[in-house]
Amino acid sequence: MQHEMTTPMLGANSNTANKQGLAALTLAAIGVVYGDIGTSPLYTVKEIFAPHTGVPLDAYHLTGAVSAIFWALMLVVTIKYVILILRADNRGEGGGLALTALAARAVEHRSALRRRLLLLGVFGATLFYGDSLITPAISVLGAMEGLEVATPALKPYVVPATMMILTGLFLVQRVGTAMVGRFFGPIIVLWFVVLGVTGVWHIAQQPAILAALNPLHAWEFLSSRGWYVFAAIGAIVLAVTGAEALYADMGHFGRKPIQIAWAGLVLPGLALNYLGQGALLMEDPSAIDNPFYRLFPVTWLIPALILATLAAIIASQAVISGAYSLTKQAIQLGFLPRMSVRHTSAREIGQIYVPSVNWALLVGVLAVVIFFGSSSALASAYGIAVTLTMVITTFLTYFVVKETWRMPAILAFGVTGFFLLVDGLLVAGCAIKFLDGGWFPLLLSLVLFVLMSTWRRGRELLMESIRREGLSLQDFVGNLDPRSVNRAERTAVYAVADPETVPQALLHNLKHNQVLHTRNVILTVRFHDVPWVPMNQRIDVQPLGHSFWRVQVNYGFKNTPDIPKALQLASSFGLQIPQFETSYFLSRETVVPTPGGGMADWRERLFATMSQNAGGVVEYFRLPGNAVVELGTRVAI
C-alpha cells in the first residue's frame, strides 16, 4: 500500500456539511475550538506578576500588562488567525499538516524547497503533541488550584485530584465523545458569560482599568522593561495559547462559525475578564495569589471551581481529539506507521479514537503533572511549543499567499513578515524559560520528528529497493502464456506499494502453488494531499490483458479507507470483484538494514523496528480477515 503526497484531486469536498445551520455550528465551535484559549485566564495574569518577571504590582504596570494581553489577542488571534490564516484552507480543512500540504503544493515544481517545507511542517506537527501533554495538565491543575483558595487545607489534594480527573478523562475516550459533545457548547458559553460578567463587576468598581484599551499603554509597558521585557512576554503569550485550534478545527465547523464565535462571545468574554482581574488587583493587590478565583465572592467559589474544572476538561478533550486527528493525517500522508484507528460515532466521521496515542498521552500527562506540580511551573514549559508552531504556520502561509493567492512578493512578505516579527518576539519571550521547563516540549518534538522523518525516508528507500529488485509488471503480463498456468476460479487482489512491479505475493503463488486466479487485480492505495477525495474519483482501473487489471484507490488524508467498498466501484469499469469470491494477497516486508545505504545505520535499524511493529493492513484498510493471505518477503534498504 502506498502513502504519498500528490497533486490534488478535482472536485474534493470543500467543507464539512453545513447542513446543521450556522447557529448550531457556531455553538459547537465555541465548545470545541475555544476551550483551550478560554481557560487561559486561570493563570495568565498571575504569571505576568510572578517574582521571576520583575514586573511591579501597581496601577501603572497593571494597566500596561492588561493592555498587552488585550492587544496580543487582537493582533495574534483576531487579525492573524481569524482574518488571515483562516483563509488559507486546504479544500475547507485547516491545521498544520493541511497547511503543509497546501504550501508544498504551491512550490511543487521546486523539489528541494518542497521537501524542506514538508519537513518543517512535520516538525510543527510534532510540537502539537507537546501541547497535547501540557494543555490538559495546566488546564486541570489551574482549575484544581481553586481548592487552595477555598481553604489552604486542601492544597495537598490539588495534584491527586488533578490526576484522578485526567485519568478518568482518558479512560472514557474509548467510548467516544458523541454524547458528551452535546454539552460542550452550552457549558463553554456559560463559561465565557461568567468570565465577562465577573469582569464587568470589577471594572465597574475600578473603571480606570479601561485605559488598558489604549495600545500606547501596551507599548509603554513593553518598551520600558528593557531586556526584562522577554520575561513579561513569556507570560503574556499564555493568553493566546489555543489560537492554533481556530485553524486546526476549521474543517469541522467552517470559517464563518469560528469567526462569529470569536467576535460575538469569546473575545468580549476574555477581554472583560482580563480587565476585571486588572481592576481587582488595583483595588486589592493581595489577590495576586490567584486573581481569577478572587474575582468571585466566597459563596461562589465552589460553583466557580466546578465550572472551571468542566471548562478545563473540555479544553483538554479538544486537544486530545486533535492529537487523534493529527495522528490519522500523519499516517495517511506517510509520516507515521499504521496504527489502530477506531471510529466512535456512526454519524460523525471526525470522531475517532487511537488507542496507542491515548495511552501514551495518559502516561505523559500524568508524568507532567507529577514532575511540575503546579500551573505556574507548567507555564514555563507551555509557551515554546505554542509560539514555535505559530512561527511555522506564518512561514508556511507566506508561500500560500505568494504562490497560491498570487499576491505580489513585496505585499506577501509585508503581510506575513509583520506577524513573523510578532511571533519571533513571543518565541524569544518563551526561550528564556528553556531551562525552567521549556526544554520538555522541544525534546519531545525532536524525538517525534526523528521518528516521523525516519519513517518517511525509510518508506522512500523501501520503494526504491522494490523497484530496483522487482520484475516489470507490464513485461510479465505481456510474456505470460495463459494456457501454461492453472487457473483458480476466484479473484485475487494483490496489494502493492509499487504498481509497476510484479507483487512478491503473486510470484510466491506461482512458485509454490503453481496457479493463477481467474482475475488478478494489482491494487495500489494512494493518499493525496487534499482532505477528501469524492466517490466519483475514488478508483482508477486499467486493464493489462490476460485477466490482469491495475487498480488505484484514491483517498484524501481525512477519508477513512475501506478497500472492499471501494473495489465495488470497479464494476462501472467492467471489472467485477465478487465480495465472497475474492482473496487478498499481502506481502509483508521484513526490512533488512544494510551498511552504506540511504540512511545512517541507527536510523535504518529504527525504521526496521517501526516496520515490524506497524499496525496490520487488514484492520487499517478494513479487509475481510477470513479472505486474506499474507506472505513474507525480505527487502534490503
Q: Please indicate, yes or no, whether residues 397 and 479 belong to a single structural domain of this protein.
A: no
Mean pLDDT in residue range 77-88: 90
pLDDT of residue 591 exceeding 90, the answer is: no
Q: Please indicate, yes or no, whether residues 208 and 338 belong to a single structural domain of this protein.
A: yes
Q: How many CA atoms lie within 13 A of 230 on its CB side?
A: 13
pLDDT reported for residue 181: 52
* Residue of 581, 585, 525 whose CA lies nearest to 556: 525
pLDDT reported for residue 182: 59
Number of structural domains found in the chain = 2
Work out the number of other CB atoms within 10 angstroms of the CB of residue 444. 20
Type of residue found at 187 = I
Q: Which of 437, 454, 472 is the last residue of a domain?
A: 437
Q: Please indicate, yes or no, whether residues 536 and 404 belong to a single structural domain of this protein.
A: no
- Asked if 412 contacts 216 with a C-beta cutoff of 8 angstroms, the reply is no
Work out the number of other CB atoms within 10 angstroms of the CB of residue 475. 10
User: Which residues, including other chains, have CB under 8 Å from residue 72's CB and lie 6 or more apart?
Assistant: 236, 237, 239, 240
Q: Please indicate, yes or no, whether residues 310 and 400 belong to a single structural domain of this protein.
A: yes
Q: Domain for residue 3, yes or no? A: no
Work out the number of other CB atoms within 10 angstroms of the CB of residue 230. 20
Could you tell me the CATH number of the domain that includes residue 420? 1.20.1740.10
pLDDT reported for residue 18: 44
Q: Domain for residue 1, yes or no? A: no
Whole-number Å distance between alpha carbons of 612 and 565: 28
* Residue of 579, 583, 603 whose CA lies nearest to 593: 603
Q: Please indicate, yes or no, whether residues 486 and 534 belong to a single structural domain of this protein.
A: yes
Mean pLDDT in residue range 16-33: 71
pLDDT of residue 9 exceeding 50, the answer is: no
Q: Please indicate, yes or no, whether residues 46 and 161 belong to a single structural domain of this protein.
A: yes
Q: Domain for residue 253, yes or no? A: yes
Q: Please indicate, yes or no, whether residues 431 and 474 belong to a single structural domain of this protein.
A: no
Strands in 548-556's sheet, in edge-to-edge order, are: 539-545, 548-556, 515-528, 486-495, 582-592, 628-636
DSSP annotation of 472 reads B
Q: Which of 390, 421, 437 is the last residue of a domain?
A: 437
pLDDT of residue 307 exceeding 90, the answer is: yes
Whole-number Å distance between alpha carbons of 141 and 309: 9
pLDDT reported for residue 4: 44
pLDDT reported for residue 13: 39
Whole-number Å distance between alpha carbons of 537 and 530: 13
Residue the block writes with cell 493525517: 329
List the single range of 320-324, 348-352, 499-503 with lowest mean pLDDT: 348-352
Helix (H), strand (E), coil (C) string for 398-428: HHHHHHHCCCCHHHHHHHHHHHHHHHHHHHH
Range with the largest mean pLDDT of 151-165, 267-281, 342-356, 412-426: 267-281
pLDDT reported for residue 40: 92
Q: Please indicate, yes or no, whether residues 477 and 609 belong to a single structural domain of this protein.
A: yes
- Asked if 523 contacts 563 with a C-beta cutoff of 8 angstroms, the reply is yes
Q: Please indicate, yes or no, whether residues 521 and 394 belong to a single structural domain of this protein.
A: no
Whole-number Å distance between alpha carbons of 102 and 80: 18
Type of residue found at 145 = E
pLDDT reported for residue 468: 80
| Beta-ladder partners of 516 | 487
List the single range of 192-196, 201-205, 421-425 with lowest mean pLDDT: 421-425
Range with the largest mean pLDDT of 352-366, 403-417, 504-518, 615-629: 352-366
Mean pLDDT in residue range 266-276: 97
pLDDT tens per residue across span 593-604 = 887 667 888 898
Work out the number of other CB atoms within 10 angstroms of the CB of residue 533. 26
* Residue of 306, 39, 313, 40 whose CA lies nearest to 173: 313
Distinct helix (H) and strand (E) counts, the chain: 25, 8
User: Which residues, including other chains, have CB under 8 Å from residue 60's CB and lie 6 or more apart?
Assistant: none
The three grid cell numbers given for residue 157, joined into one nine-digit string: 489534594
The percentage of residues in the chain with a pLDDT greater than 90, rounded to a whole number, is 34
Q: Domain for residue 459, yes or no? A: no
CA-based Rg of the chain, rounded to a whole angstrom?
27
pLDDT reported for residue 351: 66
Q: Domain for residue 128, yes or no? A: yes
Task: Name the pLDDT band for 472 (thresholds 50, 70, 90).
Answer: confident
Q: Domain for residue 170, yes or no? A: yes
| Nearest 10 degrees: Cα torsion 505, 510, 513, 517 | 80
pLDDT tens per residue across span 507-519 = 877 877 778 888 9
Whole-number Å distance between alpha carbons of 253 and 181: 14
User: Higher-confidence residue: 635 or 392?
Assistant: 392
Residue 600's domain comprises 464-636
Q: Domain for residue 447, yes or no? A: no
The three grid cell numbers given for residue 337, joined into one nine-digit string: 506507521
User: Considering the chain, what is the average pLDDT of its residues?
Assistant: 85
pLDDT tens per residue across span 532-558 = 888 889 999 999 988 899 999 999 877
Q: Domain for residue 442, yes or no? A: no
Residue the block writes with cell 497560491: 404
CA distances from residue 88 to 83, 248, 249, 573 in whole angstroms, order as listed: 10, 11, 13, 37
User: Which residues, including other chains, have CB under 8 Å from residue 408's CB and lie 6 or more apart?
Assistant: none
Mean pLDDT in residue range 110-126: 89
Q: Please indicate, yes or no, whether residues 164 and 312 belong to a single structural domain of this protein.
A: yes
* Residue of 317, 439, 425, 441 whose CA lies nearest to 386: 441
The DSSP-derived string for 557-585 is: TTSPP-HHHHHGGGGGGT----GGGEEEE
CA angle in degrees (0–180, nearest 5) for 44-46-49: 110
Helix (H), strand (E), coil (C) string for 490-528: EEEEEECCCCCECCHHHHHHHHHHCEEEEEEEEEEEEEE
pLDDT of residue 1 exceeding 70, the answer is: no
Q: Please indicate, yes or no, whether residues 343 and 216 belong to a single structural domain of this protein.
A: yes
pLDDT reported for residue 597: 66
N- to C-terminal Cα separation, the chain: 18
Q: Which pTM was predicted? A: 0.80
pLDDT tens per residue across span 566-590 = 999 999 998 999 888 899 988 777 7
User: Which residues, including other chains, have CB under 8 Å from residue 604's CB and lie 6 or more apart?
Assistant: 458, 591, 593, 594, 597, 637
